Chains A and B, each alone.
Chain A
């Protein structure tokens, strides 16, 4: 099953280049996304065993992140199909050239294949290859709209992430160096081998490896101060791609860091890793809060909100204990909410032709469904009670207080309030107010539905968490040494 989950999008990616019919390609994209999601769902019933002598495998963490990625990809694929059809129907816009649609769909599927590989790989070398491959598969996606701003964003993304990931490669080799003195030198970079070696690993080299891997994968994850590429790439990419970058790719990089933390825990230096993650988390929160205040571009606003939330993820792991459970639950909520918001933002950009918040008003009047999704998304992402994010943030806060991290608790409360006010002022002003052309426009279902479904799931998770999900989250948090 694991093999098929990687091969299917890979074959689809090749097929998209060969297929002549544009409609066939778009439908194929949605079909492959659906089959991939169905395959992932079957893993919940019957978890597949390891593959390729244990290089690939699926534990609770993999299953959790795979479900998120696959589910979000279905929503993004449906939205991408709708926007591609709309773009094809619109008269040729000379000021807005785009790249080839076949390459776009092909790269989108390749992106899914590489993300799946990241999630199921249990070998640090392979993990590195897969994470770098996600960068390469997504760079052409960001450059789909051919203008100089997206070019600049793609260049920054490509260069900064490649340099960051080169540092992660060095960290990976340090990890091999740390295990040089212990047994199992035949396969020195396998997760199982490293965890079995445990305290036999050289602590100094392991710590060096941890730092380099966190800096490397942290660049990709968007932890401040390594986040500088993120607002550009996430705001210049087409919106379904932004949804995937924020909702799925950041999780993949996060998983890379979690794998190293697993090794650190087994070697008994988990506390060292937690301190570093806590520091990165607080810095990310602070930086995001500063840049959210007075932000004029609403897609950039969402991108900085992603920096805030990856900060929270790092912070949850850094706090330890129940914080790990909170962080994983937060990853679920954040992916779904951010996917919903970016897809809605895409509809707003299509309707108003701008990313400037000041030029959008009267959303509720002109496009009621989009408007309501936007407002609901605003309250969800800022952690207001009926939504899932409130509960995951609450668990992390309680864990921080329980562990006696009072500075963290106070900083978290203050910064989350600042972010709330900052996002509220920008996003609410867009939804309310009069519209210059107050006529109501028809909103096709295909454009609103993906975001709406994601929104309903987030709302549902705030009211009731299904038993299988709780079990999976507990099992995954157990791998990181935390219990609720």
Chain B
């Protein structure tokens, strides 16, 4: 088993742990670990032809996803005064069942898929799809705004993992642009979480349900406001 495969197994385990954990602080730490893994992937995938560009990209990804995001998210957690529990919409055990089923499905799919390029490891593509799937599930199945951001990041990490499988000579301007966008997105989402907690006294997106169509007649005027 190569270093790449060991690290992919760790990625699978962090995803399962994210689906099963009830502690927000722990979930943030898990996403930070994923950031370090995703940073290491392009280097390991290109091994042993590692250029200075791979190292630079890896360094910047590690700095943003492994250090900066956890700091930002922890600050949002502290300032918003969120309860330190995840509050799932779908329970932890069903989430884990979904996670394991998804993993099995992706491994089967990965074995059948016809890759037009040589992947550095047969595990890489299925595991990246699995990460995207679990990130997506976390967004849908957790109520808090902060957990939804975590889900978005898990999904992003999966997409990064797939990109490292491509090992194309991408001009790294694009990679940096993508990283910058994601960084700004998390930054703005952090500000929004702060506003949500101040405005609603909670960060439970499930209760943000004032905007919809088809109100009962007598209630329709309650939404009335000056704009």
Chain A interface (Cβ < 8 Å from any Cβ of B): 93, 95-96, 123, 125-126, 128-129, 132-133, 135-136, 139-140, 143, 145-149, 151-156, 158-159, 162-163, 166, 169-170, 173, 176-178, 180-181, 185-189, 202, 204-205, 231-232, 235-236, 238, 291, 294-297, 300, 349, 353-356, 358-359
Question: How close is A251's CB to chain B, nearest CB, in angstroms?
Answer: 20
Q: Is the interface of A mostly helix, strand, loop or mixed?
A: helix
**A296 (CB) vs chain B CBs: closest residue:** B220
- Whether the pair A166, B223 counts as a contact (CB closer than 8 A) is no
Contacts of A181 in B (CB 8 A): 116-117
Cα separation A359 to B174 with both chains bound (whole Å): 50
> Which 6 pairs show the lowest CB-CB distances between chains A and B?
A125-B174, A129-B177, A180-B117, A132-B181, A232-B211, A202-B116
Contacts of B148 in A (CB 8 A): 159
- Whether the pair B181, A294 counts as a contact (CB closer than 8 A) is no
Question: How close is B130's CB to chain A, nearest CB, in angstroms?
Answer: 13
Cα separation A106 to B29 with both chains bound (whole Å): 35
Judge whether B36 is part of the interface by a CB distance below 8 angstroms.
no
Chain B interface (Cβ < 8 Å from any Cβ of A): 114-117, 132, 136, 139, 145, 148, 152, 155-156, 159, 162-163, 166, 168-171, 173-174, 177-178, 180-181, 184-185, 188-189, 192, 195-196, 199-200, 205, 208, 210-211, 213-215, 220-221, 223-227
- Whether the pair A151, B199 counts as a contact (CB closer than 8 A) is yes
Cα separation A465 to B180 with both chains bound (whole Å): 43
* Cβ-defined partner of B184 (8 Å) among A136, A170, A236: A136
**B174 (CB) vs chain A CBs: closest residue:** A125
Can you offer 21 A-B residue contacts whose CB atoms are under 8 A? A96-B226, A126-B173, A126-B174, A126-B177, A132-B178, A132-B181, A140-B188, A146-B195, A151-B195, A159-B139, A163-B136, A166-B156, A169-B159, A170-B159, A180-B168, A181-B117, A202-B116, A236-B211, A356-B223, A358-B220, A359-B221
- Whether the pair A173, B159 counts as a contact (CB closer than 8 A) is yes
Query: Do A354 and B226 form a contact, CB below 8 Å, given A152-B208, A159-B139?
Result: yes
Contacts of A126 in B (CB 8 A): 173-174, 177
> Taking each of A145, A159, A181, A356, which has the highest tally of chain B beta carbons within 10 Å of its own beta carbon?
A159
- Whether the pair B226, A353 counts as a contact (CB closer than 8 A) is yes
Query: Do A125 and B166 form a contact, CB below 8 Å, given A152-B208, A295-B213?
Result: no
- Whether the pair B174, A163 counts as a contact (CB closer than 8 A) is no
* Cβ-defined partner of B210 (8 Å) among A132, A149, A353: A149
- Whether the pair B221, A356 counts as a contact (CB closer than 8 A) is yes
Cα separation A247 to B174 with both chains bound (whole Å): 28
- Whether the pair B166, A176 counts as a contact (CB closer than 8 A) is yes
* Cβ-defined partner of B192 (8 Å) among A93, A151, A358: A151
* Cβ-defined partner of B155 (8 Å) among A148, A166, A235: A166
Question: How close is A293's CB to chain B, nearest CB, in angstroms?
Answer: 10
Cα separation A297 to B214 with both chains bound (whole Å): 10
Query: Do A136 and B223 form a contact, CB below 8 Å, given A159-B148, A188-B170, A189-B174?
Result: no
Question: How close is A114's CB to chain B, nearest CB, in angstroms?
Answer: 10
Contacts of A187 in B (CB 8 A): 171
- Whether the pair A205, B210 counts as a contact (CB closer than 8 A) is no
Cα separation A136 to B182 with both chains bound (whole Å): 10
- Whether the pair A129, B227 counts as a contact (CB closer than 8 A) is no
Contacts of A235 in B (CB 8 A): 211
Question: How close is A326's CB to chain B, nearest CB, in angstroms?
Answer: 30
- Whether the pair B169, A296 counts as a contact (CB closer than 8 A) is no
Cα separation A151 to B148 with both chains bound (whole Å): 16
Query: Do A149 and B225 form a contact, CB below 8 Å, given A126-B177, A163-B136, A185-B169?
Result: yes
Cα separation A295 to B223 with both chains bound (whole Å): 14
Contacts of B163 in A (CB 8 A): 173
Question: How close is B71's CB to chain A, nearest CB, in angstroms?
Answer: 20
- Whether the pair B162, A170 counts as a contact (CB closer than 8 A) is yes
Question: How close is A83's CB to chain B, nearest CB, in angstroms?
Answer: 11
Question: How close is A50's CB to chain B, nearest CB, in angstroms?
Answer: 16
- Whether the pair A173, B162 counts as a contact (CB closer than 8 A) is yes
Cα separation A128 to B139 with both chains bound (whole Å): 22
Query: Do A149 and B211 form a contact, CB below 8 Å, given A163-B139, A163-B155, A180-B116?
Result: yes
> Taking each of A140, A180, A189, which has the highest tally of chain B beta carbons within 10 Å of its own beta carbon?
A180
- Whether the pair B188, A123 counts as a contact (CB closer than 8 A) is no
Cα separation A149 to B196 with both chains bound (whole Å): 10
**B163 (CB) vs chain A CBs: closest residue:** A173
Contacts of A147 in B (CB 8 A): 199, 225
Cα separation A186 to B171 with both chains bound (whole Å): 8
Contacts of B152 in A (CB 8 A): 159, 162-163, 166
- Whether the pair A158, B159 counts as a contact (CB closer than 8 A) is no
Question: How close is B113's CB to chain A, nearest CB, in angstroms?
Answer: 9
**B227 (CB) vs chain A CBs: closest residue:** A349
Cα separation A177 to B124 with both chains bound (whole Å): 14
Cα separation A170 to B135 with both chains bound (whole Å): 13
> Taking each of A151, A187, A235, A355, which has the highest tally of chain B beta carbons within 10 Å of its own beta carbon?
A151
**B205 (CB) vs chain A CBs: closest residue:** A155
Known contacts A125-B170, A151-B200, A177-B166; 7 further A-B pairs (Cβ under 8 A) = A96-B226, A125-B177, A133-B184, A148-B200, A162-B189, A294-B214, A295-B213
Cα separation A170 to B116 with both chains bound (whole Å): 16
- Whether the pair B213, A185 counts as a contact (CB closer than 8 A) is no
Query: Do A136 and B185 form a contact, CB below 8 Å, given A153-B211, A185-B169, A186-B169?
Result: yes
Cα separation A139 to B117 with both chains bound (whole Å): 38
Question: How close is A303's CB to chain B, nearest CB, in angstroms?
Answer: 10
* Cβ-defined partner of A356 (8 Å) among B116, B188, B220: B220
* Cβ-defined partner of A177 (8 Å) among B116, B195, B226, B227: B116
**B192 (CB) vs chain A CBs: closest residue:** A155
Contacts of B213 in A (CB 8 A): 231, 291, 295, 300
Cα separation A139 to B193 with both chains bound (whole Å): 13
Cα separation A185 to B156 with both chains bound (whole Å): 24
Cα separation A142 to B105 with both chains bound (whole Å): 40
Question: How close is B141's CB to chain A, nearest CB, in angstroms?
Answer: 14
Contacts of B145 in A (CB 8 A): 155
* Cβ-defined partner of A158 (8 Å) among B139, B174, B189, B221: B189
Question: How close is A300's CB to chain B, nearest CB, in angstroms?
Answer: 7
Question: How close is A217's CB to chain B, nearest CB, in angstroms?
Answer: 15
Cα separation A136 to B117 with both chains bound (whole Å): 34
